[in-house]
Structure formats: structure tokens, C-alpha cells
Copies of this chain bind each other. A is one copy, B any other.
């Protein structure tokens, strides 16, 4: 009842609890590996670990939650470590920061440079990335009307995902 497959001009999918999430993770890590190899960037243990933790769910994750989850009883990981990994992952387009939540989410886009918009469910917390061409165009056009030169667009929509709407 929830997801369509592919949508004109962009797609956004909510996954809910029951889905083959191992595939999502696999895809993300595979892409990271591939992309880093292409660019000669190093997907180190720490960076991969952070990426895995982020992909533990489709929700946005707080930096300090990552911090806690990375710290076992032996060793405690410090903020800069996490933030540096996040920085790396963001630079390479593997992770996005959701500004309205102060949190991070795995990039589910395929191509390199994309105008991502985020649908954020206020109920279940799931975040879905969508590449809405229409939105991008509308944004570009209206900004142009104001003589404004858009470099980076941030679109974060809070509301109810299909699953939670059908509660």
C-alpha cells in the first residue's frame, strides 16, 4: 500500500519496518566502496563503520548517537572522530546532513551531483530522499526571478509518510 515504483521526475520511497534492509545496506556500502576506489579516497575502518551505523535504519541519526554506538565498554570514541568521518562521507556524497534535525542520513541517490529533497516523517522518523525535478526547476525559476543565483538548495519536508498516514 505504500510505495510506488518509479515516479515521473523523481522518486521517493518509504520502507517501513518490513523490507529486505540488508539490500539497502549492501547497495550503500557497495556504492561507497566503488566510489572511493574510483576517486582514490580511502574508506577506512572508521568511515565504513560510521556509514554502516547510519544505514542501520532509514532514520536520520544524531552524531552523538553514533558516538555512543561506536564506544564499547573498553574504548570511548570522541566527537572529532565521528565528525571527521561524517565530513568525509558528506564530501563524497555518501551521507547527507538534515539541517532541520541536526542529524545525518545515508544518501540513497544514484548519481553524483543531485538536488536532494528530504521527506521526513514526524511519526516514525523515517527519512526519504527524493530527486524532484519539478521542485528543482520551480526553485531555480523563482530564484532567478529574484535575480538570485542558487548554489545549494535545501528542501526538507516534514509530515506523514504513507505508512503512518494510514494509521
Contact = CB atoms under 8 A, between A and B. Distances in A.
A150 B143 contact: no
A165 B149 contact: yes
Contacts of A2: 147
A134 interface: yes
A138 interface: yes
Interface centre among A12, A128, A146, A155 (most CB of B within 10 A): A146
A146 B12 contact: yes
A150 B154 contact: no
A155 B132 contact: no
Chain A contact-residue range equals 35 or more
The residue in A11, A14, A153 that gathers the most chain B C-beta atoms within 10 A of its C-beta is A153
Q: How many copies does the complex hold?
A: 2
B147 A159 contact: no
B151 A159 contact: yes
A119 B138 contact: no
A134 B138 contact: yes
Contacts of A100: 99, 154
10 A-B pairs with least C-beta separation: A147-B162, A12-B146, A138-B138, A132-B142, A149-B160, A151-B159, A150-B159, A134-B138, A152-B158, A154-B156
Interface of A: 1-4, 7-14, 99-100, 117, 119, 121-122, 128, 130, 132, 134-135, 137-139, 141-143, 145-162, 165
Given A152-B159, A153-B157, 17 more contacts: A4-B146, A4-B147, A8-B145, A10-B142, A12-B143, A12-B145, A13-B146, A14-B146, A132-B139, A139-B157, A147-B161, A148-B159, A149-B159, A149-B165, A151-B158, A153-B158, A154-B155
